[in-house]
Amino acid sequence: MFTLLAKRYGVVLLSTLGFFTLLTLSALSALSGCTENTSSANADAIVISSSANESQDKDLAPEPESKIVSLYSDQLTDTNKIAQGKKFMAVTANPHATEAAYAVLEKGGSAIDAAIAAQMVLGLVEPQSSGIGGGAFMLYWDANEKKLIAYDGREVAPMAADENLFVGQDGQTDKFFDAVIGGKSVGVPGVIKMLEDAHTEYGMASWASLFDDAIALATNGFTVSERLHTLIKAVPKVDDRERIADYLFDDNGKPLAVGHILKNTEYAQTLKVLAVNGSGTFYQGQLAQQIVAATKEDKNAGELSLSDFVQYQAVQRPALCKKILTYRVCGMGPPSSGASTTLAILGVLENLISNPEAQRGHYQGMEQDILSAHYFVEASRLAFADRNTYIADPDFIHVPVSQLLDDDYLQLRSQLISSDQPMTEVAAGEFITPDVGQYLMQPSPELVSTTHLSIVDQYGNVVSMTSSIETAFGSRLMVGGFILNNQLTDFSFVPRHADKTLVANRVQGGKRPRSSMSPMIVFNQDDQPLLIIGSPGGKKIIPYVARVLYEVLFFDSALISSIEQPHILNTGRQLEIEKGVGKNVFDALEAMGHKPVYKSQTSGLHAISRHNNEWLGVADPRREGTAKGN
Rounded CA-CA distance 71/574 in Å is 28
Q: Which of 450, 451, 489, 602 is the catalytic position?
A: 450
Rounded CA-CA distance 335/318 in Å is 12
Secondary-structure percent of the chain, ordered helix, strand, coil, rounded to 5: 35, 20, 45
Note whether 621 and 68 are within 8 A (CB). yes
Rounded CA-CA distance 59/62 in Å is 5
| Number of helices followed by number of strands (H, E) in the chain | 23, 23
Rounded CA-CA distance 135/467 in Å is 6
Active site residue 424: no
Q: How far is the CB of 203 from ligand GLU (least distance, A)?
A: 25
Choose between 61 and 268: whose C-beta lies nearer to ligand GLU.
61
Choose between 34 and 332: whose C-beta lies nearer to ligand GLU.
332
Note whether 582 and 603 are within 8 A (CB). no
Three-state secondary structure of 501-551:
CECCCECCCCCCCCECCCCEEEECCCCCEEEEECCCCHHHHHHHHHHHHHH
- H or E segment and range at residue 76: none
Note whether 377 and 570 are within 8 A (CB). yes
Please state, as a whole number, how many other Cβ atoms lie within 10 Å of the Cβ of residue 195: 29
Distances (CA, A) of 250 to 229, 241, 258: 12, 14, 12
Choose between 334 and 629: whose C-beta lies nearer to ligand GLU.
334
Q: How far is the CB of 468 from ligand GLU (least distance, A)?
A: 5
Q: How far is the CB of 383 from ligand GLU (least distance, A)?
A: 15
Interface ranges with ligand GLU (CB under 6 A): 446-450, 468, 470, 487, 490, 515-517, 536-538, 541
Q: How far is the CB of 103 from ligand GLU (least distance, A)?
A: 27
Distances (CA, A) of 387 to 201, 404, 457: 32, 9, 34
Closest CA to 553 of 279, 357, 404, 270: 357
Burial class (CB in 10 A: 0-12, 13-18, 19+), 357: exposed
Rounded CA-CA distance 316/321 in Å is 15
Phi, psi (degrees; rounded to nearest 5) at 481:
85, 5
Choose between 241 and 540: whose C-beta lies nearer to ligand GLU.
540
Strand partners, 262: 222
Choose between 347 and 604: whose C-beta lies nearer to ligand GLU.
604
Choose between 90 and 517: whose C-beta lies nearer to ligand GLU.
517
Choose between 120 and 235: whose C-beta lies nearer to ligand GLU.
235
Q: How far is the CB of 61 from ligand GLU (least distance, A)?
A: 8
Q: How far is the CB of 487 from ligand GLU (least distance, A)?
A: 6
Burial class (CB in 10 A: 0-12, 13-18, 19+), 47: middle
The answer to whether the bond into 335 is cis (omega within 30° of 0) is yes
Choose between 318 and 474: whose C-beta lies nearer to ligand GLU.
474
Q: How far is the CB of 576 from ligand GLU (least distance, A)?
A: 15
Q: How far is the CB of 536 from ligand GLU (least distance, A)?
A: 4
Rounded CA-CA distance 287/299 in Å is 20
Q: How far is the CB of 25 from ligand GLU (least distance, A)?
A: 31
**Amino acid at the residue 591:** A
Note whether 502 and 517 are within 8 A (CB). no
Choose between 35 and 185: whose C-beta lies nearer to ligand GLU.
185
Rounded CA-CA distance 113/108 in Å is 10
**Which residues have a catalytic role annotated?**
450
